[in-house]
Amino acid sequence: MQHRLRLLWESVDLLPRLVFIMVTLPLSPLPYLSNSVDAGHRAIIFDRISGVKESIKGEGTHFLVPVLQRPIIFDVRTRPLVISTTTGTKDLQVVSLTLRVLSRPESQSLPTMYRTLGTDYEERVLPSLGNEVLKAVVAQFNADQLLTLRDKVSKEIKESLVKRCGDFNILLDDVSLTHLAFSKEFAKAIEDKQVAEQEAERSKFVVMRAEQEKLAAIIQSEGESEAAQLVSDAMAQHGEGLIEIRRIETAREIAGTLAKAKNVTYLPNSGLLLNVPTA
């Protein structure tokens, strides 16, 4: 008997089956199935008769018509995605970049996203858009500008990627340029340039120090010349008294030095400059 009923059921077209289900379900003791939506998720309903419904189910328990309806769950929390690419700069240097993107779907557009992209929208859209935007923005800058203007480059990448993802109902909470690397040849050229700049600064410092030493020598010579002129003027005015004072001071210093020496037991008059004849 059951075998005959099953054969009869399979021989009936789809439309009469659906009519039969819609008529008999309200009469059954459990006409609906329950489905729970977890925190951070949203659900849309696919109906076998009308297709994807526009209503969006939030967190909690919802009831579905069995056989006719099934839930499609979306994770609407922010999720990270890393995009890496290798491209060329404006001055034809090869650079490798890594971009980290925090994305989430726009909750109100989940039915449209499911119709056009499916539940794996991230894998379908973000890698291709990320590569496209990275190559387009980096091509506008020279290699050295990627280092000196990194904030500007990162800002332009973020603005362009946010705009492109908006066309696919994908929201970006953050876009960060996490890695930037040049070829070995270009990195060595940058290092050599930095060394040359340091050597130039060092040479500049040496020249400045030499000029300062020269200026100090000139000032010292001028000072000594002025001092000698002052001594000459004083001698012309007051005689040789100044020389006598200097000779006595010098003799006192020599006597003090010899008195402290261990091997000197007397102080000869000839060694104190006291008998130096005057002119």
- Collapsing DSSP to helix, strand or coil, 119 comes out as coil
The predicted model gives 182-202 an average pLDDT of 75
Just give the CATH number of 79-182: 3.30.479.30
Percent of the chain with pLDDT over 70: 77
pLDDT given for residue 169 in this prediction = 93
Whether 103 and 81 have beta carbons less than 8 Å apart is answered as yes
Arithmetic mean of pLDDT over the chain: 79
pLDDT given for residue 33 in this prediction = 62
Q: Which tokens in the block code for residue 132?
A: 């496209």
Instruction: Give per-residue burial for 46-78: e unless 16+ CB within 10 Å, then b.
Output: beeeeeeeeebbeeeebebbeebbeebebebee
Residue 9 has pLDDT above 50, yes or no: no
- Distance between CA 7 and CA 17 in Å, rounded? 13
Domain extent listing, the chain: 2-74, 79-182, 240-279
Q: Which amino acid would we find at residue 272?
A: L
- pLDDT tens digits for 107-129? 999 999 999 998 888 889 999 99
Cα–Cα distances in angstroms (integers) from residue 169 to residues 84, 105, 278, in the given order: 23, 6, 108
Tell me how far apart the terminal alpha carbons of the chain are, to the nearest angstrom. Answer: 156
15 vs 223, more confident: 223
Residue 190 has pLDDT above 60, yes or no: yes
The predicted model gives 52-80 an average pLDDT of 88
- pLDDT tens digits for 211-269? 888 888 888 877 777 777 776 776 677 666 667 777 778 888 877 777 777 766 655 55
- pLDDT tens digits for 157-182? 999 999 999 999 999 999 998 888 88
Whether 74 and 105 have beta carbons less than 8 Å apart is answered as yes
| DSSP string covering the chain | -HHHHHHHHHHS-HHHHHHHHHHHGGGSS---EEEEE-TTEEEEEEETTTEEEEEEE-SEEEEE-TTTEEEEEEE-S-EEEEEEEEEE-TTS-EEEEEEEEEEEE-GGGHHHHHHHT-S-HHHHHHHHHHHHHHHHHHTTS-HHHHHHTHHHHHHHHHHHHHHHHHTTTEEEEEEEEEEEEE-HHHHHHHHHHHHHHHHHHHHHHHHHHHHHHHHHHHHHHHHHHHHHHHHHHHHHHHTTHHHHHHHHHHHHHHHHHHHH-TT-----GGGTTTTPPP-
Cα–Cα distances in angstroms (integers) from residue 255 to residues 144, 268, 270, 276, in the given order: 72, 10, 11, 15
pLDDT given for residue 62 in this prediction = 84
Residue 137 has pLDDT above 90, yes or no: yes
The predicted model gives 175-194 an average pLDDT of 79
The predicted model gives 34-43 an average pLDDT of 85
